[in-house]
Structure 1
Amino acid sequence: MAMVAVVGVLGNSPASAEAEATIELGMVPMSQVSTLADEVGRKVSPAVRQPGQKPTRVPKSAEELDEIRRPGTQFAPVSSRIANRPPVPGSAAFSPVDDPITRAECQKFYENTEPPPDQWHKNRFNLCYGAILQARKIDQNGAVLAAIQAKAVFMISMNKNARSAVVSVELFDWFNVGGLFPTSQKITFGTGCWDPEVGGPECTPDTVSFDDTIANWQNRGIRQKVVEFSGTSAMRPDDPAPNEKRSFYQFVPYFYVQTGRGTETDFVRWPEQNLRCDVARTVVNDKYVRGSDCVFHKDVGILKLDASRPDMAESVNFIRDAFDNIGSTKPGTAGSYVPGKFGTPTSLSRLYYDQALRAANRDHSIETCIANYGRNYTVRPDGKTNDCDEYPFAGTHEGSHLAQFAFPRSFAVRPLLNLHNQMVGSELSTYLAQDHVVEGDRFQVHVYN
């Protein structure tokens, strides 16, 4: 996060010091106690420096572009994602795209998180940035003549069944030290939006900008604009699903002010944010993925499963055992583990198109059930029927067929009530579709209760 930036003006005459004053801009975390009131009337560093520059699209190396495209590299802070939406029965049927982020949620997160992350994903369709924006009027001798600050929140919410997003910004909770800072001063918010590969498609518009005086920022509340993601990124040989026409875009948000030295401006910025759009919902079907046609693909998704639900408790508790007591499952090899537990640095990746590998995962799991529980594992004392349940799921690249060769990464099986196994399978399918988890996207499993 950009910190305080001082723009100095050289000179020696006290009479001309205020006349030669400049405006400088900076950002500090919302969780930090402000010392702004103590700075007015005091001298700060008079060192001259170049003001911050407007972000522009710059060429990236092949390695940088590969990293931008790679899904599932950002794990959510455990407390933030659990507190954000407590899991409830039937939660997999809830569509996160219908739950846009709010200013109050973003503010609460950033006021109570230390150190603050560059951005907070409420889910794979909604994110925000939060900070305290500060402006200082500094004379040529380095003394702070006036200062003002406001809490700043920038939010992006993807639109349902569309290739667009609502971009929002709000400045609020203003504090003008002694009322000395001129509220006629203009502050501009902007964000560039483009394909990270120079020459690729741009967004429409390619720059969102809100320019206004402090007085108007104080009175007008939230500002919003719709951005459409048009065009298609260049196809790559390693694309896991060329039919989905995956395209990549970046937002680069910033604020700036006129410093008072001619046309000079001073910028502070938030880190860039990557997203991906595709046509999978329409080219494949909406049982594969839905929600929005664009998603924050770097964010690792979360499937939430309630171990107390009477219609799937056996299956969910089996997954919990696989995570925490793998020896109670089969093959249960000592020293092995299964990936994808929420709160760990491991995840699962969706397997959709390779039906042969999906079948091989299922076949190997059944073979393991037979080898460890006998061919009659389907028979239950209560007269009902067992399935051979497995984790990781057959529809993931981490399934049992390849896991048998990947020690210490492994897999787990257990015979359990078929209806419970099928209910978890239904929850999984619904979750993957609602969270727009395409082939190769990564997710974790959170077992609770």
Structure 2
Amino acid sequence: MAVLFSIIPGVAHAAPDRSVGVFRAVPAATAAQAQQLSGLDQNVPTPVTFDECHKDIKNGYWTKNRFASCTITDMTYQRFACPEAGCAVIGTAWARVISTSNLLPAQRRLEVATRMVGWSLTGVVTDAMRFGVSMSCGPRYTTGTAHCDDASAQVLKSVADWRAQSDETHVFTMEGTDPASPADSPSVQAEQRTWYVGERHLVAEETGDRTTLVTGAHSAYLRCDIARQLDPAYAAGSDCAFGFQPLYILDNSATSGFTASATLVRNAMTSFSNTYPGLRQGHFVPGNPGYQGTGANRTYPVTRLHYDTAAQAAHRTTAELACTQHWGPGYATRPDGLVNACAAYPFDTTYDGATLPTPGVDRGASYAVQPVLSGDYQALLANVRQFLVANHLLDGDGYWVYPYA
């Protein structure tokens, strides 16, 4: 519904030989988009408001984060003098329609708000004519018990009523579950991931005459689960999320506690050939959405790895081996008496972490390591974890890493 659901899913970008699910990949970030996201709390999701919503010409909607999105539609209505083609237009209506969708914290509920303003009427269309928005909500799959408390909802008011009260809000509750997939691990099955789909379009009351209306129709998927209830340290925010792969942003203003580790990530994105092992192992690093709006070096999202601690340990072992090979077995010892850690990108907590090449397989994705102060690297990892938890990114969910400078 893009009042209700404003994300239109598409084909996910996947690492070789590994699916990252059905979340839609975010377009390459532009410098302007990064500036909008830049700030002290840019990785902590907050609700979207009418006033901050803006048009995204390319996508038709704006996604602030995995819990908040909005659309702006210019509603255009025409009434004709007769049913035949070529008849004169005898009345028109125009309005700006702003729709926000905010998934409520710690709930399976979606607050949908619609604002209709800036009315312009001509001819036979008067303030008594009624316009509004129609929404539907239901399961994506029919094999389980998933459903919404309201299968459909409609707000239809006269222009006079919209002018008197421009904002309307409706809340949908997603209920039930999809059957567990046998392909998922027991840990993932326990999360009860369940998919819903919705639609939204603008409506006008029937007049009996021939009319046209720009409906601003939108549709999208969202996923709900009980992961937060099972482990609040693993997933927070709403118990549902839009199908969106967010940006983890390394903004200079927010990386004062881990400048060396942030520099490693930035170098991996912008000058990969100058990192180690870099091109010695593969051609690129995952997670790059395209630096500073150019789209250069764009790859595919990295994917959160949570449950398989053995795989995380293997990534750590591979990274530390690379640090030892390049900087020697004493890389952890510093002249100031402090201790270095082997910082690595992609992070150990991704399926894309440091991995030795497979014999006989063409070199593909690679990684970068660098000895940095242990406290610096631990601060980066804590910041990444905060982002993952706050954005309700579960095991197998993808996200991009954007080193905004």
Q: Report the CA distance between 1:84 and its aligned residue.
A: 3.1
Residues 78 and 211, structure 2, Cα contact 8 Å, conserved in 1: no
Residues 26 and 246, structure 2, Cα contact 8 Å, conserved in 1: no
Question: Helix, strand or coil: the match of 1:82?
Answer: helix
Q: Deviations over 1:93-148 (max 9, x none)?
A: x3x1xx21111222xx21xx4x3413211111001121100111111152011111
Q: 1-side partners of 2:203 and 2:308: how far apart? A: 49
Name the residue aligned to 1:32.
none
Q: 2-side partners of 1:389 and 1:163: how far apart? A: 37
Name the residue aligned to 2:70.
128
Residues 289 and 438, structure 1, Cα contact 8 Å, conserved in 2: yes
Q: 2-side partners of 1:77 and 1:333: how far apart? A: 25
Q: 1:347 to 1:295 in 2, by over 3 A?
A: same
Q: Which runs of 4+ in 1 moved over 4 A?
A: 262-267, 402-406
Larger radius of gyration: 1
Q: Report the CA distance between 1:153 and its aligned residue.
A: 1.6
Question: Helix, strand or coil: the match of 2:215?
Answer: strand
Q: 1-side partners of 2:163 and 2:362: how far apart? A: 58
* Structure 1 segment 303-314 matched on structure 2, within 5 A: 303-307=248-252, 309-314=255-260
Q: Report the CA distance between 1:209 and its aligned residue.
A: 1.3
Question: Helix, strand or coil: the match of 2:386?
Answer: helix
Name the residue aligned to 1:10.
none
Residues 75 and 216, structure 2, Cα contact 8 Å, conserved in 1: no
Name the residue aligned to 1:212.
157
Name the residue aligned to 2:320.
366
Q: 1:336 to 1:264 in 2, by over 3 A?
A: closer
Name the residue aligned to 2:36.
84
Q: 1-side partners of 2:260 and 2:137: how far apart? A: 47
Q: 2-side partners of 1:411 and 1:86: how far apart? A: 26
Q: Report the CA distance between 1:406 and its aligned residue.
A: 6.4
Q: 1-side partners of 2:127 and 2:315: how far apart? A: 65
Q: 2-side partners of 1:73 and 1:235: how far apart? A: 25
Residues 20 and 396, structure 2, Cα contact 8 Å, conserved in 1: no
What residue ranges of structure 2 are gaps of 5+ in the alignment? 2-18, 291-297
Higher helix proportion: 1
Residues 235 and 389, structure 2, Cα contact 8 Å, conserved in 1: yes
* Structure 1 segment 335-354 matched on structure 2, within 5 A: 336-343=283-290, 344-354=298-308
Alignment partner of 1:193 out of 125, 129, 137: 137
Name the residue aligned to 2:9.
none
- TM-score, normalized by length of structure 1? 0.77
Aligned-residue Cα RMSD (Å) equals 2.6
What residue ranges of structure 1 are gaps of 5+ in the alignment? 2-66
- Which stretch of the first structure deviates more once superposed, 206-215 or 331-340? 331-340
Q: 2-side partners of 1:215 and 1:69: how far apart? A: 46
Q: Deviations over 1:341-392 (max 9, x none)?
A: 2433521000011111111111111111111111001112333211011110
Question: Helix, strand or coil: the match of 2:288?
Answer: coil
Q: Report the CA distance between 1:273 and its aligned residue.
A: 1.4
* Structure 1 segment 34-183 matched on structure 2, within 5 A: 70-75=22-27, 77-79=29-31, 81-88=33-40, 91-92=42-43, 94=44, 96=45, 99-106=46-53, 109-110=54-55, 113=56, 115-140=57-82, 142-177=87-122, 180-183=124-127
Name the residue aligned to 1:291.
237
Question: Helix, strand or coil: the match of 2:363?
Answer: coil
Question: Helix, strand or coil: the match of 1:238?
Answer: coil
- Which stretch of the first structure deviates more once superposed, 261-270 or 314-323? 261-270
Question: Helix, strand or coil: the match of 2:379?
Answer: helix
The answer as to 2:191 corresponding to 1:244 is yes
* Structure 1 segment 247-396 matched on structure 2, within 5 A: 247-261=194-208, 268-283=215-230, 285-296=231-242, 298-307=243-252, 309-333=255-279, 336-343=283-290, 344-396=298-350
Aligned length: 371
Residues 77 and 214, structure 2, Cα contact 8 Å, conserved in 1: no
Q: 2-side partners of 1:368 and 1:80: how far apart? A: 37
Question: Helix, strand or coil: the match of 1:448?
Answer: coil
Q: Between the two proteins, what is the percent identity of the paired residues?
A: 26
For 1:346, give the aligned amino acid: Y
Name the residue aligned to 2:15.
none
Residues 193 and 251, structure 1, Cα contact 8 Å, conserved in 2: yes
Q: 2-side partners of 1:289 and 1:122: how far apart? A: 19
Q: Report the CA distance between 1:207 and its aligned residue.
A: 1.3
Name the residue aligned to 1:45.
none
Residues 20 and 303, structure 2, Cα contact 8 Å, conserved in 1: no
Q: 1:272 to 1:91 in 2, by over 3 A?
A: closer
For 1:261, give the aligned amino acid: G
Residues 72 and 443, structure 1, Cα contact 8 Å, conserved in 2: no
Q: 1-side partners of 2:178 and 2:23: how far apart? A: 16
- TM-score, normalized by length of structure 2? 0.85
Q: 2-side partners of 1:342 and 1:356: how far apart? A: 28
Q: 1-side partners of 2:92 and 2:364: how far apart? A: 57
Name the residue aligned to 1:49.
none
Q: Report the CA distance between 1:76 and its aligned residue.
A: 6.6
Residues 259 and 265, structure 1, Cα contact 8 Å, conserved in 2: no
Q: 1:76 to 1:323 in 2, by over 3 A?
A: closer
Name the residue aligned to 1:427.
383
Q: Report the CA distance between 1:85 and its aligned residue.
A: 3.2
Q: Report the CA distance between 1:448 and its aligned residue.
A: 2.7
Q: 2-side partners of 1:86 and 1:276: how far apart? A: 27
Q: Report the CA distance between 1:237 and its aligned residue.
A: 2.5
Q: 2-side partners of 1:68 and 1:155: how far apart? A: 28
